[in-house]
Structure 1
């Protein structure tokens, strides 16, 4: 049913990109007055997993980065509605387009894969995928199988062991952060969703970059816009649970919150109001180390309930607490498998240009143009991204920042004989310098490396069965929508900004009853374009 926006209060639980996107569309498409939009965020800042913080003295921190490209139709639609921080006459989308149109900023990786040899690092020729006939057949079989047939299969149940040592796999898994034990269904979705990336998987030429890190370039402009409109941001406000009206329909009647000081409160939700909750979090329970100490160990599984995002979802899916629990999926499938979902990222802050000079000369890429460099023989399967500088709005001249990650944090390193999870920032940078055969000094003397352990970072990729992920609008809901990386959006792919934004648009359109008044762009279907399909097949056959 259509709601009267003047009489609607919208309560958005979680301050990540999904809630921020929902707020923008509530204002611009549903015409809800901004002061009637309330964002309840348990932390001190918005942005969720799209974060970026720190300074040159203590070191910068990026827990990760997101790939953007032209196929993110919902994301780019959102960013076209938000003014740039630097020029209010431009949108964030225009700012990103102009940045990527500069020839010196275009992505063209010359050192995508690196092998470790006795003579030192060797940049591999990646014009060929290295697949044999059987592996190509297996790829096409997975791509052509239904999700029902693939079911709960892992990727490594669909391929032989040699497939995971091909150039294709090293480039694909580090570009998207897949592991062999992840969901074959999600892998199939990626093969379809990103078929246009096949011909340039070796150069990453299709990747769009933001002028700064994605917090400064995307989250901060959206937050600034929403605050200027009058949106009510309530930081350090944790939502413990919601109550439902006594009815066969799913109607939220109360939101139970805890403020920073521990005071509890109840928000009464009226029938004309809406509630939109972001479920789960890929960066919850993350822990930072320092240049001289490793991150704190992974949490015990019992601790998940202390984290707002997982605890709230668990309460919604608990049949003892919620009579409608069968409509809310199975969060334990995603939070209880830390060895399968954890990896470690690290951010390096440099006060000496030696490393940047060396990496640019060695790779043939100026900072910001090389995208991802993967050390395929690294026991940690380590990759680094050297971005355009400055990468932070507050980054002073003479300071450089880059980040990286390791997909196998529980293995001992090639040079530093410890698991990556047990290493200090200095030890991780030492391992990287040895893979590059760069001298340790002066880089180590002038660097702050901050490691970050992420126990749930790829939990959305874990194998799953039908029903483990709830629908954006649960069946029978009158005023509740669900967002984030753990809801079910048919055909689209998790671990993307696009997934969160598309879900937000779906929730706003349905809950506000907008119908044809709000258009949501369809998912990009590259396989329906003959040229894209031919180019992809040609690359697959190399």
Structure 2
């Protein structure tokens, strides 16, 4: 199957699934049959306040929900403008049984620390469980499918490692403790590697291999972000070897999170406009007040003029910008030039310096890329072999990392089915590698130059399943690689001022929401960050006096700290 056809398949399948499910919910909720993806940004109700949300990911969709629930907006006056032909941002999942399925990545959820995410989705009806919310649906599924990884790290000989010990030495412990106690303002532009320069041993520990691959850190990532993760996810530190804190969705996150939220917004008549690329934004000279939005809509230039009371909320960066797909016979292209969201952010930041600086995040794609792959197979031969090897049934094992892999390859087998379109005889799993320029250990090519077949062959080598290779390959439907040049960009070393506040000082009607805004104490690369940013934006711009769920201070809980200290000595 040709690479361009895979792209068309993913877009068409996802749009069809979203439209079909949404239409049914609209009928049940308000007995109205509205168009789910308009081709033109509508004008809303004449004379009423309008909200223009740039980008179609989780953050803007969450902002739309808050505008409805707490802001008193009518749905027709909320306009979500997305440049791509599908909504969902980085929460994706698509495909079919003939051509294979694909997820670019999987966003880890956590029951204890995703305060605003669970709060919002407790108000969003489940599509599959009548009378229940999405929060109830996800947590019920997760409690019935608990995670307890038994093969977290595997060495070059295919031996599962004992990862009970974190393997820290005293220097590691001192530097780790010192990092957690260091004020954030002293960590501008400092990398993890620089912080641990006096203890290269740190990067050989079980802890580093597990923490790195769970959250996709690199040695050259920001020490600032690493510190925040350690504080925010301190509950995960003592259970990092089993990943018991990972919360799973019933299906991929597009179907389990995005579709029900889209259906909810459709029920109120929110205006969705896809294939509408915002090219620039104009501001008043003396204030951060948006006056005009310039966009290219289906090939035509257009300007939206904002009235004084209107608001604009912009996604100022997307980590999956410029992502490309390959297939079983083709490697994905590496095309990092001119990321759509990064370019818009650059334009507005040049006009208003307080809107941050995208350069540290979107300027070094060789440092911020990694590559994932999704394997679709007929039958469960390979999954059964992985189950017997790991001791985990599908959905219970989380990441398996091949610690000696030159690509630092990891895989995860979700509970089956992971897509609603999967039949009982189709199985899928997902994997990724952090070092895409490195030569493979079994396929002697850089990961980024490998076809889907070659990625699978490399994996089978690490599993030492070579004698079964022929039989396994006969069951393959497709292996779809995905190259993402900016997937790690939010972890780049930077100054604190490079990330703008959600509502910049001096703003009267403008906010920014994404993984590239500054929210004190919280950690990027999470669903919670997107939802929290959306809530801050709406409440601040509209002056809503309602509590935003705070960051739970587990890192100041004496009992939690005692367990963490004990773990550091293991």
Q: TM-score range by the shorter chain?
A: over 0.9
1:291 to partner: Cα distance = 0.4
1:6 to partner: Cα distance = 8.8
- The aligned residue for residue 155 of structure 2 is 115
Mapping of residues 364-379 of structure 1, within 5 Å: 364-379=391-406
- The aligned residue for residue 346 of structure 2 is 314
> Normalised by the size of structure 1, how large is the TM-score?
0.94
1:74 pairs, out of 111, 116, 128, with: 116
CA RMSD of aligned residues (A): 1.3
* Partner SS, residue 207 of structure 2: helix
2:472 pairs, out of 436, 443, 452, with: 443
Mapping of residues 201-220 of structure 1, within 5 Å: 201-220=240-259
2:552 pairs, out of 516, 524, 542, with: 524
**Residues 154 and 401, structure 2, Cα contact 8 Å, conserved in 1:** yes
1:88 to partner: Cα distance = 3.7
- The aligned residue for residue 73 of structure 2 is 32
CA distance in 1, matches of 2:518, 2:185: 15
Match status 1:152 vs 2:181: no
CA distance in 1, matches of 2:425, 2:366: 39
- The aligned residue for residue 175 of structure 1 is 214
Give a deviation string over 1:301-357, Cα, whole Å, max 9, x none.
xx31xx431121111012xxx2xx211111111111111101000000011311011
1:34 to partner: Cα distance = 1.0
2:445 pairs, out of 414, 418, 442, with: 418
Give a deviation string over 1:468-511, Cα, whole Å, max 9, x none.
11110111110001000111111111111111111000000001
- For structure 1, the residue ranges without an aligned partner over 5 or more in a row are none
Match status 1:434 vs 2:471: no
Give a deviation string over 1:276-300, Cα, whole Å, max 9, x none.
000111101111111011111233x
CA distance in 2, matches of 1:281, 1:11: 18
CA distance in 1, matches of 2:118, 2:47: 28
**Residues 295 and 422, structure 1, Cα contact 8 Å, conserved in 2:** yes
CA distance in 2, matches of 1:222, 1:111: 35
1:188 pairs, out of 223, 227, 251, with: 227
* Partner SS, residue 275 of structure 1: strand
Mapping of residues 142-291 of structure 1, within 5 Å: 142-159=179-196, 160-246=199-285, 248-260=286-298, 262-291=299-328
Change (3 A) 1:6 1:30: farther
> Normalised by the size of structure 2, how large is the TM-score?
0.90
CA distance in 2, matches of 1:45, 1:229: 20
Which range is displaced more, 441-450 or 83-92? 441-450
* Partner SS, residue 196 of structure 1: coil
CA distance in 2, matches of 1:421, 1:333: 23
- The aligned residue for residue 6 of structure 2 is none
* Partner SS, residue 470 of structure 2: coil
Match status 1:496 vs 2:526: yes
1:530 to partner: Cα distance = 1.8
* Partner SS, residue 110 of structure 2: coil
CA distance in 1, matches of 2:140, 2:164: 29
**Residues 412 and 430, structure 2, Cα contact 8 Å, conserved in 1:** yes
Q: Which runs of 4+ in 1 moved over 6 A?
A: none
CA distance in 2, matches of 1:243, 1:154: 36
- The aligned residue for residue 102 of structure 2 is 61
CA distance in 2, matches of 1:7, 1:533: 51
2:565 pairs, out of 529, 534, 537, with: 537
CA distance in 1, matches of 2:459, 2:500: 41
**Residues 334 and 485, structure 2, Cα contact 8 Å, conserved in 1:** no
**Residues 6 and 32, structure 1, Cα contact 8 Å, conserved in 2:** no
CA distance in 2, matches of 1:328, 1:158: 28
- The aligned residue for residue 384 of structure 1 is 411
CA distance in 2, matches of 1:230, 1:456: 33
CA distance in 2, matches of 1:229, 1:444: 48
Mapping of residues 8-23 of structure 1, within 5 Å: 8-23=49-64
Change (3 A) 1:427 1:195: same
CA distance in 2, matches of 1:8, 1:374: 51
**Residues 352 and 442, structure 1, Cα contact 8 Å, conserved in 2:** no
1:362 to partner: Cα distance = 0.9
**Residues 352 and 443, structure 1, Cα contact 8 Å, conserved in 2:** no
Match status 1:85 vs 2:127: yes
CA distance in 1, matches of 2:277, 2:552: 36
* Partner SS, residue 538 of structure 1: helix
- For structure 2, the residue ranges without an aligned partner over 5 or more in a row are 1-45
**Residues 18 and 503, structure 1, Cα contact 8 Å, conserved in 2:** yes
1:385 to partner: Cα distance = 0.8
CA distance in 2, matches of 1:410, 1:294: 13
* Partner SS, residue 107 of structure 2: coil
CA distance in 2, matches of 1:20, 1:434: 42
**Residues 82 and 92, structure 1, Cα contact 8 Å, conserved in 2:** yes
**Residues 115 and 376, structure 1, Cα contact 8 Å, conserved in 2:** yes
CA distance in 2, matches of 1:127, 1:283: 34
**Residues 6 and 33, structure 1, Cα contact 8 Å, conserved in 2:** no
Aligned residues: 520
Match status 1:292 vs 2:329: yes
